[in-house]
């Protein structure tokens, strides 16, 4: 849920990048940080485990402008992919305002995408939230590997897989999908811009005004 400071006229949004391990969540945030470092005004905080793998990323604050007199800041988070860190994935989702699911385009990772998406649904349910109630975008990352003759899955295949997890084709049909490469930056910023717009659009400014 968005954090609103009526006195300072500031809204803080929490966007979580979710997906299988090594799918491109961290690389996406690193590209965003490197590209928008001047706007962010602060380095991305990185917490590593003993194996030097991602545990948790906190990228803040990213100023995205002013909406109806309120300055808007965004916090971007990733979740760890390792199964043993399931409690941390659940914790990171607490209070989430919107989600970017980063799927791995490598064909061999198809089952991991499905497992991670199912895990996302389960963890949201723990917080009594449904994906349908949140702004949601999907990145199909590493699509550039097709140029190296590495088998990759198509967008229709990914949509079919995710729809099967939800048992809801209609919902998936209305979700924005972006083919990305976190290495080159292809569509990474477009995804970020889209999820921020969707998140801000869902804010209830009438309720915010009453709060003030």
Q: What is the pLDDT of residues 75-86, one digit of tens each?
A: 888 887 777 778
Question: For the residues 164-190, what does the mean pLDDT come to?
Answer: 94
**pTM of the complete model:** 0.90
How high is the pLDDT of residue 78? Answer: 87
Determine the Cα–Cα distance for residues 10 and 98; give it in Å rounded to an integer: 18
CA angle 138, 95, 176 (to 5 degrees): 15
Evaluate whether the domain defined by 3-211 bears CATH number 3.40.50.300: yes
How high is the pLDDT of residue 57? Answer: 47
Q: Residue 176 is inside which H or E element, if any?
A: none
């Amino acid at each position: 849920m968005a954090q609103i400071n009526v006195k300072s006229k500031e809204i803080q949004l929490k966007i979580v990048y979710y997906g299988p391990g090594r799918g491109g969540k961290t690389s996406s945030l690193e590209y965003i940080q490197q590209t928008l470092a001047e706007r962010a005004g602060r380095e991305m905080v990185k917490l590593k485990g003993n194996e030097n793998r991602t545990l948790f990323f906190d990228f803040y604050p990213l100023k995205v402008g002013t909406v109806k007199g309120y300055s808007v800041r965004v916090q971007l988070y990733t979740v760890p992919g390792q199964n043993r860190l399931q409690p941390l994935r659940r914790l990171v989702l607490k209070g989430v305002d919107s989600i970017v699911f980063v799927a791995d385009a490598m064909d061999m990772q198809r089952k991991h995408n499905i497992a991670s998406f199912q895990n996302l649904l389960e963890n949201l349910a723990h917080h009594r939230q449904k994906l349908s109630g949140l702004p949601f975008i999907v990145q199909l990352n590493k699509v550039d590997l097709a140029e190296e003759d590495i088998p990759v899955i198509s967008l229709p295949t990914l949509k079919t897989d995710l729809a099967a997890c939800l048992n809801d084709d209609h919902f998936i049909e209305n979700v924005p999908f972006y083919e990305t490469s976190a290495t080159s930056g292809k569509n990474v910023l477009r995804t970020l811009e889209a999820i921020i717009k969707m998140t801000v659009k869902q804010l209830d400014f009438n309720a915010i005004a009453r709060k003030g």
